[in-house]
Structures are given as C-alpha cells and as structure tokens.
Structure 1
C-alpha cells in the first residue's frame, strides 16, 4: 500500500489523540511586588499549585508538523458532537489549506479508540469528508506518537 509507486504515501497519514495535561499559570514576580504601609499586613500570595488545572488537549499532526491543537473548555466533556464540530472541522480546514488539490480525499486518519472516535456521528462525518480511518489496536500508544508529547502552557 505504501510502496514507492503505490496508491498511498506516508504524507497522507494524519494522526492524533487526546490527552490530559496538568498545567498551571505562575504569576510574574513583578506582580508580587507592592507597597504596603507600616500598619497593614502584606497580602498573601497563593502558591502556583492553587492555580493548577487539568485540561484535555487534542493534537493532530502529519508529516509536516501539527495541524490542530484544540484545548477542551473547562466545563465541557469530549463527546462525539464536540469532536466532529470542533476538532474534525479544524482538521479538515488545515488539510485543505495544506493540500488544496487533494483535500481530504486521500487522507488516512489514525486516532485512538475513544468513544468519541467510534461514535456513529464521527464515522458518518468521516465518510462524508472522504477520510479513511486506519485501524488502531487497543492499548497501543506507540502507534499514536502524540500521546508521548508533553506541552506546557
């Protein structure tokens, strides 16, 4: 399938997955400087751990680098509807910009086995876009290299 004159190239593969990342925002040191009079107590500054958050990042990339980096809003769950409307639509737009002649017709998608990836709405949307899904064996994170990417914001 991926031979030198075969119907597919490695540049046709788009891979991606979701992962939870703990990140926190440390205020700059200059924000902790303040003038206080001799009578008042200095305000207490919270440690960085109190501002830490756990957020879900969805990253899709291909041979040339990242295509989509989506950060799930804090009070939202990753559902098939969110996945189709936000993540796959961004993915389609990025592929169309990068490969305007081919578009999504030759794209092979390798993503995990999450419920939002296997839902009926997702599979129908991928069929409409003409994106073929490569099978992903269960419990095989080495096939989705984006699971090993660490991002700090």
Structure 2
C-alpha cells in the first residue's frame, strides 16, 4: 500500500515506459556499381525499398538520467516474466548502484497500467525489492 502523505523527493522517483520504434534500412548505392564487359547482361540492381523494422524499446530513468534501456527481441512478446527477468533486473542493478553513490534508501516507481506492469510476478518482485509503486490513474495521457 502506498502512503500518499509523508516526505517525498523527486530524486526518489523512477519512471519508465515502452514504445514502438520504426527504423528503415536502404541498401547503399555502391552495391549497384560493377564493371561489365560487352557480352554480359546487366544484372538486376538492388533498389532502395521500403524495408522497415519495428521494435519495442523500454526506457527507465530518474532525475540523474537513464537507468535501463531494453530492446525487445524480434518475434518476442512483452510478458510479465520477460518484464521481471530482463527489464526489472536492469533497473534493480542500476538503482542499487546509484544507492551506493547517493544517500537514498527509498525508491518510488511510476509506470502505467499495462498488463505486464500489473501482473502478480511484477508486483511481487517490486515488493521483494522494497520499491513502492505510485498509483497511476487510468486514461491519463498527460502522465504517459
């Protein structure tokens, strides 16, 4: 249970979210250059095409900067187990590293109400780490 009253500092808040990013790959023009003699037909040229890839990036940060960046592998779905094992483990190690440098023992976690964030495995993992989760109101695009 999150206690809404009491001392809170912006330096205690860790926030993050996932987003889909598209990137395009065009073959370089130098692949089309070649020497031909008169008897050989010209081969088909590789032309720049619409080749896009879509990947999910997860970024967590606090007031000091980026804590963890995770790129979801291709043909993988973001599930609670992936979130706990890969994303939260990076965030946990970054928080522990910063705790040793900065005198803070409290961490307030802010993420949206996505399925992997609200799953039992995630909430239990955050509880074991001693991290409080701040309430995120439903349908609040301003906070996202």
Q: Shorter-chain TM-score: what band?
A: 0.7 to 0.9
TM-score normalised according to structure 2 size? 0.84
Structure 1 or 2, whichever has the larger Rg, is 2
CA distance in 1 between counterparts of 2:127 and 2:57 reads 24
Q: Which residue of 1 aligns with 2:62?
A: 62
Give the deviation of 1:96 after TM superposition. Answer: 1.3
Secondary structure of 2:22's match?
strand
Superimposed CA distance per residue, residues 50-74 of structure 1 (whole angstroms, 9 cap, x where no aligned partner)? 2x11111111111111111111001
Give the deviation of 1:142 after TM superposition. Answer: 2.0
Aligned CA RMSD, in angstroms, stands at: 2.5
Q: Which residue of 1 aligns with 2:46?
A: 45
Secondary structure of 1:49's match?
coil
Q: Report how many residues are paired.
A: 140
Q: Which residue of 2 aligns with 1:150?
A: none
Superimposed CA distance per residue, residues 33-64 of structure 1 (whole angstroms, 9 cap, x where no aligned partner)? 531314232442242422x1111111111111
Q: Does the CA-based 8 Å contact 2:32-2:46 persist in structure 1?
A: no
Q: Which residue of 2 aligns with 1:35?
A: 34
Change (3 A) 1:126 1:103: farther
Q: Does the CA-based 8 Å contact 1:36-1:42 persist in structure 2?
A: no
Q: Which residue of 1 aligns with 2:122?
A: 122
**Structure 2 stretches of 5 or more lacking a match?**
none
Give the deviation of 1:97 after TM superposition. Answer: 1.5
Change (3 A) 1:73 1:108: same
CA distance in 1 between counterparts of 2:61 and 2:32 reads 42
Q: Does the CA-based 8 Å contact 2:32-2:45 persist in structure 1?
A: no
Give the deviation of 1:122 after TM superposition. Answer: 0.3
Give the deviation of 1:19 after TM superposition. Answer: 1.1
CA distance in 2 between counterparts of 1:99 and 1:75 reads 35
